[in-house]
Amino acid sequence: MEYRPVIGLEVHLQLKTASKIFCGCSTLFGASPNSQVCPVCLGLPGVLPVLNRQVFLYGVRVALGLQCKIQPTIVFHRKNYFYPDLPKGYQISQYDLPLGTGGHVVVPGTAAAPGTDFKVRIHRVHMEEDAGKLVHRPEEGYSLVDLNRAGVPLLEIVSEPDLESPEQAHEYLKTLKGILEYLEVSDCDMEKGSLRCDANISLSPASADRTAPPTGTKVEIKNLNSFKAVARSLAYEIKRQGRALDAGEKLMQETRLWDDVQGMTQGMRSKEFAHDYRYFPEPDLVPFAVPSEEIDRVGKGLPELPRQRAQRFVDQYKLPTADAVALTSSRSTADYYEACIRLLPKGKEASPCKAVANWLLGDLAREMNERNVDGIEGLKFPPGHLVELVDLIDSGKISGKMAKEVLTEALQSGQSPAAVVQAKGLSQVTDRESIRAAARKVLEEQPQAAADYKQGKGQSLMFLVGQLMRKTKGAANPGLAQEVLRELLENR
C-alpha cells in the first residue's frame, strides 16, 4: 500500500544565559563534575526556585521569531518521573499554559524540490530545566551523576506533524537552526548538546484526507545526534512501519532509539519509561503575565531573519533567489558575505557581488565541508582575502583556474591571495607577444587541427586554445589566447 509519513519534531534548545533557569549557578559547559550546583538545583529541601528574567526574554524572542502568540498567562508545571539525573524527582516544565503557541516556519524547499516553500506550523514553545548527566559503568554495575547541567535553561520547540518526508524534516531543522542562530539566544551546537531533537512519526494511507487528524500509530524516536541522523532514522522508520502494516501487523505506540552505527531504530522496553507524568502546577513559582508593551519591545528588537534577509539580498545585490537563500540560511555566512560586499570598491559592485556569492557557495563551501569546519570563520580566510581573490581575477592578473590554486594555497598557508600570487610568481600572461610565440609553436605541432579550422571546423579552435593553455601551464589569459590563435589562423 502507499503511505504518507506524518512527521513532527521536538527541538530542545539550550539558552546561553550566564546562570541557570531557577538559581545563580553557572551554565558554563565542561566544568569539573558537580562544581556548579547549589541547594536549588540539587533539589535540597526548603529551597525556592526563582525564574531567570533572561530565560523569559530569550523565550519570548524565540516565540516571536517563530511567529507564535505569547500566552496571556504563563504557568510552570511539575513533570514527575524518577531518574537519577533528575534530583527533585520532577522536572519544572510547562504543560497547558506554555510561553507561546500557534507559530510557523517557512522552509525554502528541499534539494529534490528547490524553491518550493512549505510551511511548518509550530505547536508550542515552552521553557523548562535540563536534567543532569549520567556516566554509566555497566561492567561495575553503577552509574555516576554530574548535576552541573541540572537546571540549565531549555526551550522546547514543538512542531505540528506537518512534515511528510525525511528531506522535509532535515530542511525544516536547517531553517529552524538558521532562525535560532539569528536570534542569538543559543550556541545551537548539536555536538555540545545545546540543540537536540526528537522525532515522532506515523504513517497514514496516501489517500487519507490531509486535513483530518492522522490515524496511524505514533512512534517517537530519540537519541538523534545530528540532522543527518534525524533524516536517516525517519527513512528507516518509514520502511519499517510500511512493511509491518503491509504484513498486517499492529504497530505499537512506543519510543525507539536510533543506533547511528547500525543504522536502525530499536524499541525501548516500554514499561521502563511510563509516560504518565502526573503534571501539576508548580506551587513554588508564581504565574507570569507579561504586559504587552514589554512583548512589543522584544518584538521590535528582533533582528532581520533569514527569509527577510534573503529577499533583501535579491533586491540589493541582484542575486538569484537560490543563492540568496543559501547565503542567508546561516547567519555567519550571510554576515561574511556582507562584510565582503562592504570591502568592494565603490561603484563597481554589480559583477563582484555575484562572484563573491559563487566563491562562498562553491569553493569555500566545499573547503568547509572537506575540512569539516563549522561555519566560515573556521576557514581562517577573512572577507578581505576573498575580495582580494575576486579582484585578482577581475583585473585579469590571474585566471579563474589559477584562482582555485591560489585559494588552496592561501587556506593552507594563511597568506593573503595577493601574497600567494607574488610568492609563487603566479600571474597570468597578458603579454600578447609571448602568447603569440607560444601559439606559433602550437600551430606547428598541430597542423591537422590548424587545417581543420581552415576548412571551417570552428571547434578545432577550442582544441588549439586548450593546447596553448597547456603549453603555458594555464598562465595565458584564455580570452587573449583565443584572439591570438584566431588571428594567426586567419592570416595563414
Element (H, E) at 335: helix 331-343
Residue 346, SS3?
A: coil
Question: Other CB atoms closer than 10 Å to residue 124's CB: what's the count?
Answer: 21
CB of 283 to other proteins, least distance (A): 7
Stretch that binds other proteins, among 24-32, 63-71, 333-341, 430-438 (CB under 8 A): 24-32
Subset of residues 102 to 141 that bind other proteins, contact rule: CB under 8 A: 134-138, 141
Residues 409 to 448: which contact other proteins by CB under 8 A?
A: none
Of the candidates 136, 28, 37, 54, the residue with the CA atom closest to the CA atom of residue 88: 37
- Could you say which of Zn ion, other proteins, none residue 34 binds, taking C-beta under 5 to 8 angstroms by partner kind? other proteins
In three-state secondary structure terms, 308 is helix
Cα–Cα distance for residue pair 37/149, rounded to 1 Å: 9
Instruction: Mark 139-178 with x for binding to other proteins (rule: CB under 8 A) and - for no binding.
Output: --xxxxxxx-------------------------------
Q: Measure the CA–CA gap between 343 and 356, rounded to whole angstroms.
A: 11
Contact 94, 76 (CB under 8 A): yes
Torsion of the alpha carbons at 152, 234, 362 and 466, rounded to the nearest 10: 160
Binding residue count for Zn ion, defined by CB under 5 A: 5
Q: Is 24 in the site for other proteins (CB under 8 A)?
A: yes
Q: How far is the CB of 147 from other proteins (least distance, A)?
A: 7
Asked if residue 379 lies in contact with residue 373, where contact means CB atoms within 8 angstroms, the answer is: yes
Q: How far is the CB of 138 from other proteins (least distance, A)?
A: 7
Sketch the per residue contact string, 179 through 218, with other proteins: x for CB under 8 A, - otherwise.
----------------------------------------
Q: Which of residues 40-79 bind other proteins (CB under 8 A)?
A: 42, 50-56, 75
Q: Determine, following the binding rule CB under 8 A, whether residue 365 of this chain makes contact with other proteins.
A: no
Distances (CA, A) of 491 to 207, 290, 454: 72, 84, 10
According to the binding rule CB under 8 A, does residue 292 interact with other proteins? no
List binders of Zn ion among 8-67 (CB under 5 A). Answer: 23, 25, 38, 40-41
Coil/strand/helix, residue 309: helix
Number of residues that bind other proteins (CB under 8 A): 60
Which residue type is seen at 349?
E
DSSP string, 419-442: HHHHHTT---B--HHHHHHHHHHH
CB 87 to Zn ion: min, Å: 10
The binding site for Zn ion (CB under 5 A) comprises 23, 25, 38, 40-41
Binding site for other proteins (CB under 8 A): 17-19, 23-26, 32-39, 42, 50-56, 75, 80, 82-84, 97, 134-138, 141-147, 222-223, 255, 257, 268-269, 272-274, 276, 278, 281, 283, 285-290
